[in-house]
Chain A
Amino acid sequence: MDNTEEIVKSLKENVSKMENKDFSMYFFVMDTQGTPVASISNIYEHVKVLNELGYKAFVLHEKNDYVQKQLAFITNWLGGEYSELPHASIEDQSIKINATDFIFIPELFANIMEQTVKLPGKRVVLCQSYDYITETLQPGKGWYDYNIKDCITTTENQKEYIDNLFNNRINTRVIPVSVDDTFKKPSKPKKPIISILTRDQRDTVKIFKTFYIKYPHLKWISFRDMRGMTKDVFSKALEESCVSVWVDDIAGFGTFPLESMKCGTPVIGKIPNMVNGWMNDKNGMWVDSINVIPDLLSQFIQAWLEDNDPSEIYDSMDLTVNQYTTDIQRQKISEVYSELVTDRINEFNTTLEKYNKEENIQ
């Protein structure tokens, strides 16, 4: 059997493997050292759904000790069904990447994109935060320089940004984030508590201190910093709160406000640099500057204390969040990953055709 026959045979085997879902998908995650990060949570969601759809998807981490440390935290944070998902470690060097396999690399890790150039599998960027794209990219380099041509992101606005940044040389698909049923409306009336999540903790301090200085008669209203909570505690806190505050200038998607909406908790938020597609003038109180947030909070609280908060906002919140259900995300995951697989099969078939043509010519 000459080399061409071997290649043809191998290509046919690859096509067959892919058609039978006999390949692996590796999703690289960073070790957050116990800190809950929405983007990691979303990756775990993809891995979970893909396994349920019959794919062999793995969470790929760098160090072996991730299993001892981070996984215990993942159990607390996301629940046992997530920590029990298949995991693989780069450090133990037991992974063999085949041509049929996929590696999904977060946008932040341009160094990994570079280091994995020679691997035979298909590499795809999983971009959840457009703001980090250029963070580790070498000047003048784009993802295509590392032979990466595909990307999955979470919003149409981020897709547009990526298309524009890389001059339409990356094929970007969108899978929105979902808000699962851990987040729900409370069975009891809400409490005078303000949930607050800001990317920069100084903003949290600034907002609550300003609020208490300007509105001392509302000093009894508690702020709850939503950082570092397990998912159950986080969702429970959001459920109880009568209003939430969100400041994240570089948010790619904005999971927190949607989680808040699902809990029936109106959001006062600063409009991020990239306006989120779900944001409209009815589903929240969106402002341009954090300086007005304490005033808006005071107005909202006063109205809430009098049962005079606008009912339209609650209706609008429901409409918005109903577009981000786990069923919708699951459907989208199924479609997008299926497309990636089909594209890969087509690549193999194209190469196969090329060899078949050469054989016919000979």
Chain B
Amino acid sequence: MESNLTVIMPLNSLSDDNKNYFANAIESVSTQKVLPKKLFIVIPKGSDLKTLIESFDFNDDIKTILTIIENDGETDFCSQINFAVEKVETEWFSILEFDDVYSNIWVDNVIKYANSYSDVDIFLPIVLDVNTENQFIHFSNEPVWAKDFSEKLGFLDNDALLNFPNFQVSGAAIRTEAFKTSGGLKGSVKMFFNYEFLLRATYYDKKIMTIPKIGYKKVNMREDSLFWRYKNTEGEIIDPVESRFWYNTARKECYFKTDRGIKYETENV
């Protein structure tokens, strides 16, 4: 069994404290029952990350599939992904954050479910959300399997998303073509870029299903992570009012395929 999937890992920096996370993430790729076809690590052009990455003692499987891609454009999370997807040649891709891990069954299940549900464009994993102590907090992406959550058991639709925004895109297997034709991720929507993308995808009739298997483990609120900074870093803090603004923006912007670069202004709230 062969996969037709590229893993994309965006990376802007890697402190000594976070090297373990990175190593674990890469190991979770190499221990897949079925290996992904490619592993892209996207870094800002000219950064010293390339040397750092090459200094890791990856096994042969990783060496075979790894490509380091240097991005000379914007280097926020969404731009890194959009940039990398343009380089993807496989039917599917999946985002792996450097502080998260796949479960070893994930790619194998993507293949199985893609064979059974050929019309699906995005397969979400059940995400195991843990804290930095690796303690279980909750699952994500699982509500679609609850009775009457959405129109069809196991599938995420636009109405369900309008009622319940908390879904995760990281770890998902996304059909490359569907991502491109939907317009990709919009960095301007701040912390609701996942939500906006899923709303847009469902609005444009992309089929989204959660594979009922634990496919991804996400570390929540790691120090210096994007959402941690939104909560703790002076100058980046997003208060509840702004948060509400971005939530509403996501719901309005999902009808547009291009990122219209909406800015937060208090008079817009």
Decide if A222 touches B105 in the complex (CB within 8 Å): no
Interface size on B, as a range, is 20 to 34
| A305-B212, A307-B109, A307-B213 given; A189·B142 CB < 8 A | no
B146 on interface, CB distance cutoff 8 Å: yes
The CA of A299 and the CA of B212, in the complex, are separated in Å by 16
Looking at the assembled complex, report how far the CB atom of B245 sits from the nearest CB atom of chain A, in whole angstroms.
30
B residues less than 8 Å from A307 (CB atoms)? 105, 108-109, 213
Are A306 and B214 closer than 8 Å at their CB atoms?
Answer: yes
**Nearest chain-B residue to A187 (Cβ)?**
B116
In the assembly, what is the distance between CA of A191 and CA of B142, in Å? Answer: 12
Interface contact B112-A222, CB-CB below 8 Å: no
- Check if B105 sits within 8 Å of A192, measured CB to CB: no
The binding surface of chain A is classed by DSSP as loop
Q: Does B154 contact A (CB under 8 A)?
A: yes
Distance A307 CA – B110 CA, assembled complex (angstroms) = 13
Q: Of the candidates A191, A217, A222, A242, which one forms a contact with B138 in the assembled complex, judged by CB atoms under 8 Å apart?
A: A217
Whether the Cβ atoms of B126 and A305 lie closer than 8 Å is yes
A305: which B residues are within 8 A, CB to CB?
126, 212-214
CA distance A191 to B147 in the complex (A): 12
Do B112 and A219 have beta carbons less than 8 Å apart? no
Contact digits for A143-174, partner B, Cβ 8 Å, 1 yes 0 no: 00000000000000000000000000000000
Judged by a CB distance under 8 angstroms, whether B182 is at the interface is no
A219 touches B146 (CB 8 A): yes
Which residues does chain A contribute within 8 Å of B117, judged by CB atoms? 188
Residues of A within 8 A of B213 (CB): 305-307
| In contact, B109 and A220 (Cβ under 8 angstroms) | no
What are 30 A-B residue pairs whose CB atoms fall within 8 Å in the complex?
A188-B116, A188-B117, A189-B112, A189-B113, A189-B116, A191-B145, A191-B154, A191-B212, A192-B145, A192-B212, A217-B136, A217-B138, A219-B146, A220-B142, A220-B145, A220-B146, A220-B149, A221-B145, A222-B145, A222-B147, A222-B153, A242-B212, A305-B126, A305-B212, A306-B103, A306-B105, A306-B213, A307-B105, A307-B108, A307-B213
Question: Which B residues have a C-beta under 8 Å from some C-beta of A?
Answer: 103, 105, 108-109, 112-113, 116-117, 126, 136, 138-139, 142-143, 145-147, 149, 153-154, 212-214
